[in-house]
Amino acid sequence: MQETSVMSQLEALETENCVPVPKEPPLNPVLEHLKQSTFQPDIHSYITLDAKVYENKTYWLELHAKYFDTEMEVWLHDRHGSLDEATKYLRSLNRLTGDMLDFIGKHNLRSEIEQA
């Protein structure tokens, strides 16, 4: 009889401290989803983009890039950072990679081909 009483007390404590499970999860449908990737295994590289905007106007953007041992991750979401600052960063990144490609083209840079 004592054991039942202890069990009842434990159940009461657990029930008191537990958050009730919602009957239906809150809905926040994705309005638009952009998912793109490029994989180039011959040069050990990939870039992936996963971008979503939700019905309540929140968003989640992920950009992952890898080239040999160099990796870059950019995550943008409505609870972290400023979208204006992130946009400025991405525009600068876009401009600099474009300038880098122009520089390579201007000087006709090429890698040496290994001779067997």
- pLDDT tens digits along 39-77: 999 989 999 999 999 999 899 999 999 999 999 999 998
Give the angle subtended at the CA of 33 by the CAs of 73 and 35, to the nearest 5°: 50
- pLDDT tens digits along 76-116: 988 877 889 989 999 999 999 999 999 999 999 998 877 66
Q: Domains of the chain, with CATH numbers?
A: 28-106 (3.10.450)
Residue 52 CA to residue 68 CA, distance in Å, equals 28
Residue 10 has pLDDT above 90, yes or no: no
| Closest of 68, 112, 72, 61 to residue 96, by C-alpha | 72
What is the reported pLDDT for 78?
A: 82
What is the reported pLDDT for 34?
A: 97
User: Is the CB of residue 55 less than 8 Å from the CB of residue 38?
Assistant: no
Residue 23 has pLDDT above 90, yes or no: no
Tokens at residue 104, please?
A: 């390579």
Half-sphere exposure of 112 (CA within 13 A, CB side): 3
Residue 15 has pLDDT above 80, yes or no: no
Q: Which residue has the higher pLDDT, 10 or 103?
A: 103
What is the reported pLDDT for 71?
A: 95
At 115, the amino acid letter reads Q
Which pTM does this prediction carry? 0.64
